[in-house]
Structure 1
Amino acid sequence: MTQASIARTVLIIEDSPVQAKIIRKQIQAYTQFDVRVAHSLADAEDVLREAHDTIFVAVIDLNLPDAPDGEAVDLCLHWQMPSIVLTATFNEDIRRRFIERRVVDYFFKGSIQDMDPMVTSIERVFKNRFVHALVVDDSRTQRGIIRQLLEVQCVNVLEAENGVEGLAVLEANPQVTLVITDYQMPEMDGIELVRELRQRHRMDKIAIVGVSAVGSGPLTAQFLKHGANDFLTKPFEVEEFYWRVNQTLEGLDLMCDLRSCREQLESR
């Protein structure tokens, strides 16, 4: 992906001119992204047909006059457009629909201050397009589940069925900066893999998240003590997975920035 081909536009689909202006101003105040606004489902269809290859994420009002039941979300997902949903109401049924539709995230409409987490989510979507992750699990089904969740967050995903294969995949793909590994695997389990990874890669080079269906306090501690950044017990909530992975990636970005600053200072 060349610099010229990188999509940098946010599409806002919002029928209220006032609300659309608030969202646009917040995005432009804190990022360098371009913004397009559509005030209806019909407008959004026109924008996506005209310029979908320049748009990397859509911020969508859940209920529009010509799309009262989230049809704008379905439109964007049809175009394989990562979608962040804004809603004035929330209940468990709406939450389930968001998860089933595989939206990146959802937020309540509110003041400008309420928009800050949304802007952070937009920035993370942009960054995640350049993130390569490795999922290590001996269960093809579990690998598929985690792969799907990562791809919703726009992460590029590779797979391995055990720790030994995972090390080989990493050797062949040095662009990988995130490893998500199960605990119980043949040949090399998750803790052994974490230990081996930390002998080869510092925490500012690769982030590691451990997962297990037999999670407990001692197991969590073992993963963390051997160098994992975080640990999740299966089954986990989808939003918890998204939050922990994105927070782990944010932490990795901060460490990389600090390393870069230190290297610049040392070179003077």
Structure 2
Amino acid sequence: MAYRATGRRQSEPIAKELKVLLVEDSRTYALALSRRLEAELRLPIVVCQSLNELHEVVTENRAAYTMAVVDLNLPDAPRGEAIDFTVQRGIPTIVHTASYDLETRNRIMERDVIDYVPKDSAFTLETVVATAKRALANRQTRILIVDDTAATRKLLAHMLKVQQYQVIEVGSGDEALSVLEDNPDIRLVVSDYYMPAMDGYELTRRLRRQFASNRLRVIGVSSSNDRMVSVGFLKAGANDFISMPFIPEELQCRIASNVETLEQIELLHNLASRDALTGLFNRRHFFESAGRLIEEAQAKNLTSAVAILDIDDFKQLNDSHGHDFGDQALAKVARYLAQSVEGSGHLLARIGGEEFAILFPGLSAKEAMRLSDHIRLDISHEILLVDDRQITLTVSIGVAEIGGQGSLDQYLVAADRALYTAKHEGRNCVRVAP
């Protein structure tokens, strides 16, 4: 075996590692690419220089490899035998090749590979790394295929599964709407036009009434020669259109482009709704989301509560130990708060300075106070080290119950008054607004 750039952390058991195979006979190129892959994917890279070495490492533990980047031509595998070896063993494979022409392309695409990258530019390393990152990210993306022809569904599903997407198949528009209701994490729908009962246009229009384009992308497909079919899809609200029969590379690029658009929108939304220092939601997001959560609780005849939390003596701590310490204190409290509310449905945000707000949808003031007191107590056990000195953090919390009347601002004012009472009565305690 040539060398292994595994980078395993000592605390991780070897059997639990997922590795990436790099099969390349050029030592210089393999070293450069393995370093880039390991840095970007944060996975250990196992490098082989021949088909013989590939046999050796995969036989040891086939299940350990989550992906392979394989050179098309090796000294002992001149016709792509290494690609066949990884694909046949169920290892998702990216091909890179020094020679590229139509015949080579056809040889590669006969196999079920994720993609191929020619070694013909200064950006080859970047392209291979980007392709690998995209394939790994695709595993988190669910796509719904809607087509009444089973053979077409299976073909399209197979092509997308090779690209590592999670795929669900249905045969009608009604089934599609039902599946989307049960699977809100579906990000993209690929729909045929000609379907009984509900055609692709009508399905697209109904999807657009329920889902905005920044939440769900829709791609129309059809084997029709009528170019107005694509116009009909786009007018109905689809984001793209692909003609059948599919050219695999075109399908891959169009799907990837729409998924990347969703990711960019999500990134921009996070930048707009997150606090830069703590990573928590910011004041703007809190006010935008709180009303909806309160209304949902009220529709179930449930009360809600809101708490405002403030780090005790924060200004004094800042003045005594510097702003870097203040940032550390805010970040530490934020991390603990995030862990405390994770998966609970509660809404947590930093609303300014050393103040945090927590909305407890569906909880009474008494229940919110009990949870808040657990949070307060646990934070008081946290310690920050400053110049070898141990600094204990404490917080004060004010809680207000949200009834059927009044605005969120009014309840936040009530919680803030309760917080002031907690400060006045000695800090490191929780008080409830009367």
TM-score (norm 1): 0.91
Which residue is 1:11 aligned to?
A: 21
Which residue is 1:243 aligned to?
A: 253
Q: 1:49 to 1:205 in 2, by over 3 A?
A: farther
**Are positions 1:183 and 2:193 aligned together?**
yes
Letter in 2 for 1:148: H
> CA offset at residue 229 of structure 1?
1.8
Which residue is 1:205 aligned to?
A: 215
> CA offset at residue 159 of structure 1?
1.0
TM-score (norm 2): 0.58
Q: How many residues align?
A: 265
Match runs of 1:128-207 below 5 Å: 128-207=138-217
> CA offset at residue 157 of structure 1?
1.3
Which residue is 1:90 aligned to?
A: 100
**Alpha-carbon distance in structure 2 between the residues aligned to 1:92 and 1:155:** 27
> CA offset at residue 110 of structure 1?
4.2
> CA offset at residue 217 of structure 1?
4.3
Query: Which of 66, 71, 80 matches 1:56?
Result: 66
Query: Which of 36, 41, 57 matches 2:46?
Result: 36
**Alpha-carbon distance in structure 2 between the residues aligned to 1:7 and 1:134:** 31
Task: Note if contact 1:7-1:53 (Cα within 8 Å) is conserved in structure 2.
Answer: no
Q: 1:178 to 1:8 in 2, by over 3 A?
A: farther
Q: Deviations over 1:195-251 (max 9, x none)?
A: 111111222222211101125543323322332221101123111111111111111
RMSD: 2.1
Q: What secondary structure does 2:219 align onto?
A: strand
Q: Deviations over 1:21-53 (max 9, x none)?
A: 121133234443332211111211222233433
Query: Which of 9, 25, 30 matches 1:20?
Result: 30
Gaps of 5+ in 1: none
**Alpha-carbon distance in structure 2 between the residues aligned to 1:137 and 1:211:** 9
Letter in 2 for 1:180: V
Q: Deviations over 1:114-135 (max 9, x none)?
A: 2222211101110111221111
Which residue is 2:334 aligned to?
A: none
Letter in 1 for 2:239: N
Percent of paired sites with the same residue = 36
**Alpha-carbon distance in structure 1 between the residues aligned to 2:254 and 2:18:** 25
Q: What secondary structure does 2:110 align onto?
A: helix
Which residue is 2:114 aligned to?
A: 104
Letter in 1 for 2:28: V
After TM superposition, the runs of 4+ consecutive aligned structure 1 residues lying more than 4 A away are 4-8
Q: Considering only CA atoms, is the larger Rg found in Structure 1 or Structure 2?
A: 2
**Alpha-carbon distance in structure 1 between the residues aligned to 2:41 and 2:235:** 36
**Alpha-carbon distance in structure 2 between the residues aligned to 1:79 and 1:7:** 18
Task: Note if contact 1:13-1:60 (Cα within 8 Å) is conserved in structure 2.
Answer: yes
Gaps of 5+ in 2: 1-12, 275-281, 286-350, 352-434
Q: 1:88 to 1:145 in 2, by over 3 A?
A: same
Letter in 1 for 2:107: R
